[in-house]
Every structure is written in C-alpha cells, then in structure tokens.
C-alpha cells in the first residue's frame, strides 16, 4: 500500500498533551508549518493562552482529559464542526511516576494507565472511527518511549504503560492494514528528553529532585520526528541513541544490563535542583504548563544522528556504502603496499 500525505500546511491535526514539553514544542512547530491545530490538554487557561499565541483563526482549544472516552469523542466532533475534517491525530498526552513499584499506591498505577494507555486507546479508536466516516484515510501518531523496549528502574509504571502503548499500536496497525484502510500509524519513541516530565511526575522517591539519566535531548527533536511522521509512512521513529542501545543490550545480555541499571539507575535519576514552583505532580490534575524545557537538567543535545538516519534512509544507505567502499579501497592499498 502506497500512501500519499498532504503537506503540513494543508492538514488539520489533533494534538493531545499540547501545553507542555514535547506537545508544546510540536504545537509550535506544526503551527509554523501552517497546519490548523486542534489543541487538547486538561488546563483550560494554558490552552487558551497557547491558542492566542499560535493564532485563534487556525487553532481550536478543547480542554479534555483523554482518560475519558466520551470527552475524546467530543474533541473529534468539535474538530469537524470547526474545520470540516481531520487529517492527523497525535496522541501525546502523558504523565509519569518515580518510585519503586511496591511503593506506588495502586490508585496511582491505575491513574497513570488511564492517561498513558487508555488515553492513546481512546484517541486511536476515535480517530479510526472518524477516518472511516471520512473515507478510510488518515494518519495516527502515538507517543511511545524507548522505555517500551527496556523498563527503567524506579519508573516501572511508566515503562509498563509504554510497553502497552507499543503493543496496542502494533496490533491496530496490522488490523487496519488487514481491513484495507489507508491509515498510517507511527510510533515515536523518545529517549531521555529535557521536558518538564521530571518536575511534573508524581514522586515517591526520597528526594525532591528527579532528573533524566544522561544524555538528554531537546524536545524540538521529538517535535521534528512527529512532524515527519505526519507526512511519511514511518513505522517507528526513535529519538536518541542511548536508550536504543540499552534496549539492544538487554536483548543480548539481559542480566548484565539489569546489573548496570541496579548499580547506576537510582544515582542517575537523583538531582540537586527542586522542581520550579507549581510544577510538581500532574498525575490527577493539571500543573504549571507552557514550558517546553525542564529546569533541572544539564544542556540537552540538539541533534540525533539516529533520528536523521531514520528520516533519510536513502541518504544514510548511500553514505554507508561510500564509507564501506572507502574502507575497502584503503584495505586494498594497505595489502598492496605490504606485498611490495
């Protein structure tokens, strides 16, 4: 199946989790590219402020808790009423918890899954129903994580939710293809990203400052990956090489990787800077928003060679072949010189 995609300037895009971190960086990028945006988050004031920033004529702010299926359906209804249709649906809303699994109350586990997993399910099913009514074409972008391939110590519930997001995305992708729908589904898998994630997380650790294990990447890179996914039939897009490498190492040497995480995981997630005022804990309700970056980590990387390789596979293959040819030529010269 060969899919065609509209340019971003011609698309109507629903974006959940729009007022913070990756979602905020994505909203601003898509707006600069000319997309019409349906902005979704829990905080009404932050949504309205963002809509004003991006331009009220091309945005629609819909305060919504994605954990509520009926509310997500109403997002679709309002999007169609305002813009006539939807081209792309991005499920980005998410929350986090730090702490040992046995120290996290069950109600916190459940609430995290209501947002991170059920929010994706509600958005995906709503988008599919909408796309069927529109003729069976559309794009869905789900926010996964490199922690869907390797669970992180002290982030068990979050890791579990992202494993679930990856599984449901893979299942829906194959089922829509089997049904003959022209729906492209991309799973974006960021590594450690310098967003308010750490400050917004509910914290059950014995420190008030939680940080990303290095290296940390700029949220603009994930926004770039999402924008690419809106116009390409990419299956998965990883952002950052460190988490990807850790996942691959787990497959090769799982016990060794476990031991490394046991030895360093707690230390690498403890910081010295407390959260900014109003930031801590958005598990059950909205916290301070409209911040793309965190206030607790060192400078973030602004490039990801892994992402660039996935976005430009032909060029990457050509460079790889050129490097291989050059290495072979050098080896031949060395052998010829040694034979003289």
Q: Are residues 80 and 150 in the same domain?
A: yes
Is 197 an active-site residue?
no
On whether both 97 and 236 belong to a single domain, the answer is: yes
- Using an 8 Å Cβ cutoff, are 188 and 138 in contact? no
**Burial class of residue 334 in the structure, from the number of CB atoms within 10 Å of its CB (0-12 exposed, 13-18 middle, 19+ buried):** exposed
The verdict on residue 160 lying in a domain is yes
DSSP letter at 58?
Answer: G
Q: 322 and 227 in one domain?
A: no
**Co-location of 309 and 298 in the same domain:** no
3-state secondary structure of 236: strand
Query: Which domain CATH number covers 231?
Result: 3.40.50.720
Is 132 found in the same domain as 208? yes
Q: How far apart are CA 59 and CA 178, in angstroms?
A: 34
| Crossing angle between the packed helical segments 118-134 and 69-83, to the nearest 10 degrees | 40
Supply 110's token pair: 């459940």
Q: How far apart are the C-alpha atoms of 188 and 225, rounded to whole Å? A: 7
Q: Which domain holds residue 93?
A: 8-303
Q: In this structure, are 57 and 174 located in the same domain? A: yes
- CA 162/CA 116 separation, integer angstroms: 7
Enumerate residues 6+ apart whose C-beta is below 8 A from 127: 14, 76, 86, 89, 138, 140
> Residues 168, 311: one domain?
no
| Helix spans in 33-68 (H) | 44-54
How many secondary structure helices (H) and strands (E) does the chain include?
12, 9
Give me the sheet containing 36-41, strands edge to edge.
59-63, 36-41, 12-16, 88-91, 137-143, 182-190, 236-239
Q: Phi-psi category of 217—alpha, beta or left, where left has phi over 0 and alpha has psi -120 to 50?
A: beta
Let me know if residue 287 belongs to a domain: yes
Q: What is the domain count for the chain? A: 2
pLDDT score at 316:
61
Contacts within 8 Å (CB) and 24+ apart, 40-48? 40/14, 40/15, 40/16, 40/64, 40/66, 40/75, 40/93, 41/16, 41/17, 41/93, 41/286, 41/289, 42/285, 42/286, 43/19, 43/286, 43/289, 46/19, 46/20, 46/286, 46/289, 46/290, 47/18, 47/19
Domain check: are 95 and 84 in the same one?
A: yes
- From first to last of its 340 residues, the chain has per-residue pLDDT tens of 568 899 999 999 999 999 999 999 999 999 999 999 999 999 999 999 999 999 999 999 999 999 999 999 999 999 999 999 999 999 999 999 999 999 999 999 999 999 999 999 999 999 999 999 999 899 999 999 999 999 999 999 999 999 999 999 999 999 999 999 999 999 999 999 999 999 999 999 999 999 999 999 999 999 999 999 999 999 999 999 988 899 899 999 999 999 999 999 999 999 988 999 999 999 999 999 999 999 886 688 999 888 999 998 776 665 455 545 555 555 666 666 666 6
**CA 186, chain centre distance (Å):** 10
By CB atoms closer than 10 A (0-12, 13-18, 19+), residue 177 is middle
Q: How many Å apart are CA 15 and CA 89, to the nearest integer?
A: 6
Give DSSP secondary structure letters for 191-222. -SB-STHHHHSEE-SS-S-B-PPSP-B-HHHH
Q: Would you call the peptide bond into 24 cis, given omega within 30 degrees of 0 as the criterion?
A: no
Q: Cβ(304)–Cβ(217) under 8 Å?
A: yes
Instruction: Identify whether 3 is part of a domain.
Output: no
What does the alpha-carbon distance between residue 270 and residue 266 come to, in Å, rounded to a whole number?
A: 6
Co-location of 189 and 335 in the same domain: no
CA–CA gap between residue 309 and residue 2 (Å, rounded):
21
- Predicted pLDDT at 18: 98
**Are the C-beta atoms of 60 and 39 separated by less than 8 Å?**
yes
Do residues 190 and 325 both lie within one domain? Answer: no
| pLDDT value at residue 315 | 60
């Amino acid at each position: 199946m060969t899919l065609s995609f509209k340019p971003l300037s011609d698309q109507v895009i629903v974006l959940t989790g729009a007022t913070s971190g990756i979602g905020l960086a994505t909203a601003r990028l898509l707006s600069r590219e000319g997309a019409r945006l349906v902005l979704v988050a829990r905080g009404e004031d932050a949504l309205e402020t963002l809509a004003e920033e991006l331009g009220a004529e091309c945005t629609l702010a819909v305060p919504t808790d994605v954990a509520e299926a009926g509310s997500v359906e109403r997002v679709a209804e309002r999007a169609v009423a305002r813009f006539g249709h939807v081209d792309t649906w991005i499920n980005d809303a998410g929350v986090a918890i730090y702490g040992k699994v046995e120290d996290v109350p069950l109600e916190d586990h459940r609430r995290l899954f209501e947002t991170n997993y059920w929010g994706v399910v509600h958005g995906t099913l709503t988008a599919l129903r909408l796309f069927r009514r529109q003729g069976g074409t559309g794009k869905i972008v789900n926010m996964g994580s490199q922690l869907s391939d390797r669970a992180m110590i002290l982030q068990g519930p979050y890791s579990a939710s992202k494993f679930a997001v990856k599984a449901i995305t893979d299942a829906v992708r194959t089922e829509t293809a089997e049904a003959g729908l022209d729906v492209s589904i991309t799973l974006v898998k960021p590594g450690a990203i310098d967003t308010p994630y750490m400050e917004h997380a509910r914290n059950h650790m014995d420190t008030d400052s939680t940080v990303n294990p290095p290296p940390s990447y700029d949220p603009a890179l994930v926004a770039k990956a999402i924008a690419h996914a809106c116009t390409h039939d990419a299956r998965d897009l990883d952002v950052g090489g460190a988490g990807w490498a850790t996942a691959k190492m787990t497959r090769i040497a799982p016990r060794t990787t476990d031991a490394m995480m046991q030895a360093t995981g707690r230390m690498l997630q403890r910081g010295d800077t407390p959260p900014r005022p109003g930031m801590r804990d958005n598990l059950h309700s909205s916290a301070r928003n409209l911040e793309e970056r965190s206030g607790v980590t060192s400078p973030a990387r602004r490039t990801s060679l892994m992402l660039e390789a996935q976005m430009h596979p032909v060029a990457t293959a050509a460079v790889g072949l050129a490097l291989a040819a050059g290495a072979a030529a050098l080896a031949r010269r060395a052998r010829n010189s040694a034979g003289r």
